[in-house]
Structures are given as C-alpha cells and as structure tokens.
Amino acid sequence: KTADVAKGKQIAEQVCAACHGADGNSVASANPTLAGQHPAYLYAQLQAFKAGVRKNPIMMGMAAPLSEDDMRNVAAYFGSQSVKPREASDKSQMDLGRQIYRSGNPLTRVPACMACHGPAGKGIPVQFPRLGSQHAAYVLKQLNDFKAGTERKNQTMAEIASRMSDAEMKAVAEYISGL
Ligand code: HEM
Ligand code: HEM
C-alpha cells in the first residue's frame, strides 16, 4: 500500500510542526530534524514510541493516537522534504569528529560511522538512518541514550556507544551536524 503524502502533510502541520518544523527542519536542538530521513526509519521509530520500546515521554504521547496509516503517511511526508544544510557550531571539534566518523578508533574498537551511515551522512535505506545536518545536541543525547540503554535500545549502537569516550561522542556529534 502506498503512503498518502498529502494526508501526512496535514498531520505534520497540525501536530508535529511546533517541534519539528512544518517542513521537518527543526529549530530547537533537542528536536531532531526529520526532513530527508528514510521513511521506513521514521515509521519504525514511531512504532517504537507507540509500543513504548523507545521510551521518550514526549514522543510516546505524540505517537499514541496515530494509526498505522497515519504513521506511514507522516513518515512519507517528512522523508520527502529536503534537509537544510547546516554548519557545525564548534569548529574546534572537527579533527577528532572527522577521525571518528571516517575511521573510528581502532584502539577501542569503535567502528567508522560512515560504514553504516555513509561518507556524506546520508545513511543507507532501509536500516541505517541519515545523520547529516542533524543537531549536535540531539545526536549526543542519542549516543548517551544508546549507551545507557534505558530510553533507547539498539544492540549495534549500544555496543558502539559503550566504547566511546565523552570527548569522542561530543566531537563526532559536532562533525555530524555539519555534514
Ligand atoms: C523525536 C516524529 C511531534 C518532540 C521524533 C522522532 C520521530 C518523531 C520520527 C525520532 C527521530 C529520529 O529517530 O531521528 C514526530 C511526529 C510528530 C511529532 C510524526 C507529530 C505527530 C512532536 C512534538 C514534539 C516532539 C509536538 C514536542 C512537543 C520530539 C523530541 C524528540 C522527537 C524531543 C527526540 C526524542 C529523543 O530524545 O529520543 N519525533 N514527532 N515531537 N520528537 Fe517528535
Ligand atoms: C542509529 C550515530 C556507527 C548502525 C544511530 C543514531 C545515531 C548514530 C546518532 C540515531 C539517529 C537518529 O536518532 O536519528 C553513530 C555514530 C557512529 C555510528 C556516531 C560511529 C561512532 C554505526 C555503525 C553501524 C550503525 C558502524 C552499523 C554497524 C546504526 C543503526 C541505527 C543507528 C542500525 C538505527 C538504530 C535504531 O533503529 O534505533 N547511529 N552510528 N551505526 N546506527 Fe549508528
């Protein structure tokens, strides 16, 4: 069944725009940009919020009233919007950030992020989300959430985050925000 982008746009404008922007480019750094994200990934996250598997209190409330079709439609709408490219705000983090993103840290067995998220941060549909131009503060929170395993569980990302230092997470989050 194909998604109805026009119906998705309606939901986005009425419910999600306040935090994620009407076109999916959010302003506040705690709210992720959804524009250009793979629809299958957005849909899977909405299902996880609705099922209470990804335990973010705000988004659990937002996903609760959405039907399967609503989630598919709104995911298709945000995925079809284009990301506004941004620049990293803290340029001092670029060298370490780029190194982690492109090469990982062989000493602590942190893999290169680009292996799964792509050299330009576009991700690889269906499984691997796009990261490019995402807010650094949001990315950093996700890495800490994966490491802690309480709000958000994902085995691959939990193992990777648990091997990273705070400095590495901060630097790679800054680098990603400018990708
Ligand atoms: C995260 C969709 C409404 C605040 C997310 C994510 C999706 C999403 C798919 C996960 C993104 C990712 O993993 O990259 C939606 C939809 C909405 C909606 C479809 C409307 C039906 C809102 C509203 C707010 C909000 C109104 C603010 C009151 C947030 C926050 C996060 C988030 C803070 C990050 C959660 C975390 O830290 O894990 N949203 N959202 N959202 N959303 Fe929404
Ligand atoms: C999700 C960062 C390496 C697979 C994510 C997210 C972030 C992230 C921030 C959440 C995106 C969002 O909420 O929108 C990183 C960083 C890496 C790295 C900084 C390098 C240090 C990898 C590698 C793989 C991978 C090497 C594959 C082996 C995934 C998958 C998800 C994900 C499957 C989706 C998890 C889910 O469905 O909840 N990554 N990643 N990542 N990453 Fe990575």
Ordered structural domains, the chain, with CATH: 5-80 (1.10.760.10), 91-177 (1.10.760.10)
How far is ligand 2, taken at its centre, from the CA of residue 124, in Å? 11
Among 16, 38, 77, 135, say which to mutate for ligand 1: greatest number of ligand atoms within 8 Å of CB. Answer: 16
Q: Which atom in ligand 1 lies closest to the alpha carbon of residue 37?
A: 14
pLDDT value of residue 88: 82
Among 7, 20, 70, 71, say which to mutate for ligand 1: greatest number of ligand atoms within 8 Å of CB. Answer: 20
CA pair distance 84, 36, nearest whole angstrom: 9
Q: Are 10 and 31 in contact (CB under 8 A)?
A: no
How far is ligand 2, taken at its centre, from the CA of residue 122, in Å? 12
Which residue owns the Cα nearest ligand 1 atom 35? 56
- What residue ranges of the chain have pLDDT lower than 70? none
Listed in sequence order, the residues at least 6 apart from 154 whose beta carbon sits closer than 8 Å to its beta carbon are: 146
ipTM: 0.99
pLDDT value of residue 86: 87
